[in-house]
């Protein structure tokens, strides 16, 4: 009788372990899909340090995104987050030139469409402020 209880408990434990492992595998696959990674692909290391932000023309990112019929997630393309796209669209942060290049590639708009004519951008791009 005790041997049967131990055997039943071992079987239950094994089933629970298999279910837990299957759940972890599902979470890993979901995370890989969310990050845009192929299964077991190593993520590209992100840039460390501060990049110079560029002033964008108000409303230009959202206009280009909606005209290209892209969601925020599609525009982010696994390289950015939806939150980052939202902050850029609302003018609450300045995207780096690398980020703008991603947006340009996704929307098909030229870089000049997004860049605002501000003293900051003139300074960044090495032009004299007027």
CATH architecture of 60-124: Orthogonal Bundle (1.10)
Which residue ranges in the chain fall short of pLDDT 70?
A: 1-3, 36-50, 127-130
Q: What pLDDT is attached to residue 130?
A: 46
Give, in order, the Cα–Cα distances in Å from 64 to each of 28, 46, 71, 123: 33, 26, 11, 25
Q: What pLDDT is attached to residue 22?
A: 78
pTM beyond 0.75, yes or no: no
Look at the block and give the residue holding tokens 């041997």.
Answer: 3
What gap in Å lies between CA 105 and CA 65, rounded to an integer?
11
Q: Which residues contact 43 (CB under 8 A, 6 or more apart)?
A: 35, 37
What are the residue boundaries of the structural domains of the chain, listed by start?
1-41, 60-124
């Amino acid at each position: 009788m005790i041997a049967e209880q131990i055997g039943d408990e071992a079987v239950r434990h094994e089933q629970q372990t298999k279910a837990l492992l299957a759940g972890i595998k599902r979470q890993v696959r979901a995370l890989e899909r969310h990050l845009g990674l192929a299964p077991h692909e190593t993520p590209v290391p992100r840039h460390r340090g501060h990049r110079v932000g560029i002033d964008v023309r108000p409303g230009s990112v959202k206009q280009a995104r909606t005209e290209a019929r892209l969601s925020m997630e599609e525009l982010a393309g696994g390289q950015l987050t939806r939150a980052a796209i939202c902050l850029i669209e609302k003018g609450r942060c300045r995207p780096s030139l690398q980020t703008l290049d991603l947006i340009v590639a996704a929307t098909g708009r030229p870089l000049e469409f997004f860049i605002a004519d501000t003293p900051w951008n003139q300074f960044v791009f090495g032009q004299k402020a007027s």
